[in-house]
Structure 1
């Protein structure tokens, strides 16, 4: 065990997980690559959990951070903040939500926590609909609506949470149905659930593509069908875009747009990629909902001048270089390459994804049983070959998660697919 690993274990919580038997200390990065303390280079296909969205050490972002830090680092929301206003204006326009208001936080967890506060206050109800297999963060309220048992350490919650079918297309009681029948069955389940509740439900919170859950997704149009039911009851729709936002899915800028027949959500949360590694999260909501709070509130660190400067530079780079289009093109190629690499391997159940958001689900050969041991073995083999990937799925965490920066090149996609293919065959 390295000296740093020993020090980590001595002062940090046991539940603070580290990847790998010999954990990696990442010292620097450039583009789609990072280096460890021993000088070894890795192709990064996880981006700090989908956070390094454009590239490591992107010059525009590092310059914006440096210049802003040289002027003022912190002021809080009690003072006017030009970078925060400018980024809020851009996000409000991009959100598609009419008369939008934006509140910045420091993380996706805090963003979802804020959205829950707004929805429950607006609707005067603590009942929340969430999706099975979902993940929404680490705070007490976010854990209380998380439908993935592996990431929910307590059953206590300030909220009454009701879980809905639909987030996982290829498992569960409706997996055998066609897409249209699947949507109809999930809508019927939602109606039945609402028919058994007392009082008004505040909101449905849903990830368009479930992140920690293993990059699973429903058929396009499910949330549009849900929205018709929700609207009849006055229930709000919160789209958790912490992992799907900013063009990562390739086909759309926001994940909810795959269900665009419903129109935009009432609230939308974001984080991760917008800061390209800086701590930025937030909520977008129509003004009527955002302004419903009747108590004082501020944010000490949300919307700080430095993180807002980083977000502005990063968003400009993403839009000017059409990284959404790159995610669609290179992500489509990567998906095809991975399916070819996995063809015929008995422990690969499914290779799925959208854009640069791809999951490889592993099972025990000849069964549908998740195989977390195989996932750990592939993770180690990939690292040994020079490729960093992530894990997810249900509580068994048997899905390999690939989410490289959106600037991934064709050559890097081919290299990464070949490396992962060798790791899969080694298992």
Structure 2
């Protein structure tokens, strides 16, 4: 056990998860690579949980942070803040939500917490519809709407939560149906459910479930849900903490795969926009955002330094068409991984979109999750110089692949080759 690991265990909570039997200390990074304390170089296919969106040590972001820190680091939202206004203007326009207002937070958890506050205040209801297998954060309210027991340490909640079918296409009671039949069955279930509960405030849903193992419904499911919810006044909150900013390749936001009924009433964002700086937020129609009848501020949300980073990062993302790169390189990587998986009985499915890819592992010849295999592949990939993540609602048996969106074809091939060798080690 390293000295740092021993010190970590002595002062930090037992439930603070660490990857690897011998936990890794990352000391610096550049582009799509990071280095550990021993000087070993790794290709990073997880980006600090989908957060290093463009690249490690991106010069444009580093320069913006340094220059802003040299002027002023902090002021709070009690004062006008030019970088915050500039980033809010850009996000409001990009969101697709009409007459949008933006509130900045310091994390995705806090963003979802704020969206729940707005929805329940606007609708005068504390009942929330959430998806099974979902994850929305670590706060008391966010844990209360998380449909993944591995990440929900208590059933106590200020909200009444009802979980809806549909977030997982290849498991559950509707697996054998066609996509159209799957959507129809989930809509029928939702309509039946609404006949048994008081009118909820909102449905919150990740377009692609992140911690849940990069699972997703067929395109159009949430549009069909919206057709049921809108006449009843029930809001739709799209949790874009992991799917936003072009990561899925096909769309800038995950909700756009379900955009037939228009944009959501609210969307939440975080992670990638800061490229490692602490930025989260909520976008909502003005009438929803302005519904609170009490004062509020944010001490750290919208910090001048984080906003400078966000503006520089967003500019780089758009000017270099990283969404298009995610579509092109991600598509090649998915096909390469599917070709590998076709030869391995322990791989149940390779799924995903753009540079958001999941590899679900099972015990060969069964549908039973194999978390031990996932842990073994994680370790083997690390040994060969590749960092990946894991997740899934079925005992953490899904390998999660989400590199920075500037990933090159050569780097994608390098990572796939390492994963090929690591997966073949599964008994």
Report the TM-score when normalising by structure 2: 0.99
Residues 271, 280 of structure 1: 8 Å contact kept: yes
Pairing of 1:291-306 with structure 2 (within 5 A): 291-306=290-305
Pairing of 1:320-335 with structure 2 (within 5 A): 320-335=319-334
1:408 is aligned to 407
Offset at residue 344 of structure 1 (A)? 2.0
Residues 118, 293 of structure 1: 8 Å contact kept: yes
Distance 2:425 2:375 in 1: 12
- CA-to-aligned-CA distance 1:164-186 (integer Å, 9 cap, x gap): 00000000000100000000000
1:326 alignment partner, SS class: helix
Distance 1:375 1:134 in 2: 20
1:136 is aligned to 136
Offset at residue 151 of structure 1 (A)? 0.3
Pairing of 1:184-333 with structure 2 (within 5 A): 184-198=184-198, 200-333=199-332
Residues 341, 418 of structure 1: 8 Å contact kept: no
2:419 is aligned to 420
1:358 is aligned to 357
- CA-to-aligned-CA distance 1:270-305 (integer Å, 9 cap, x gap): 000000000000000000000000001000000000
1:426 alignment partner, SS class: coil
1:118 is aligned to 118
1:161 is aligned to 161
- Moved segments of 4+, more than 3 Å: none
Offset at residue 395 of structure 1 (A)? 4.8
Distance 2:218 2:298 in 1: 37
Distance 2:293 2:373 in 1: 52
Offset at residue 406 of structure 1 (A)? 0.2
Distance 1:196 1:172 in 2: 22
Distance 1:17 1:210 in 2: 20
Residues 369, 394 of structure 2: 8 Å contact kept: no
Offset at residue 250 of structure 1 (A)? 0.1
2:84 equivalent to 1:94: no
Offset at residue 362 of structure 1 (A)? 0.3
Report the TM-score when normalising by structure 1: 0.99
Offset at residue 336 of structure 1 (A)? 0.6
1:89 alignment partner, SS class: helix
Offset at residue 341 of structure 1 (A)? 1.5
Offset at residue 426 of structure 1 (A)? 1.2
Unaligned runs of 5+ in 2: none
Residues 151, 395 of structure 1: 8 Å contact kept: no
Distance 1:70 1:290 in 2: 33
Query: CA 1:169–1:395 in 2, change beyond 3 Å: closer, same or farther?
Result: closer
Distance 2:269 2:373 in 1: 32
Unaligned runs of 5+ in 1: none
- CA-to-aligned-CA distance 1:357-382 (integer Å, 9 cap, x gap): 00000001111010000000000000
Distance 1:92 1:42 in 2: 36
1:340 is aligned to 339
Distance 2:133 2:261 in 1: 23
Offset at residue 346 of structure 1 (A)? 1.1
Offset at residue 136 of structure 1 (A)? 0.1
Distance 1:363 1:352 in 2: 14
Offset at residue 126 of structure 1 (A)? 0.2
Pairing of 1:390-401 with structure 2 (within 5 A): 390-401=389-400
CA RMSD, aligned part only?
0.4
2:171 is aligned to 171
1:93 alignment partner, SS class: helix
2:75 equivalent to 1:71: no
Offset at residue 163 of structure 1 (A)? 0.3
Distance 1:17 1:242 in 2: 20
Distance 2:99 2:393 in 1: 37
2:105 equivalent to 1:105: yes
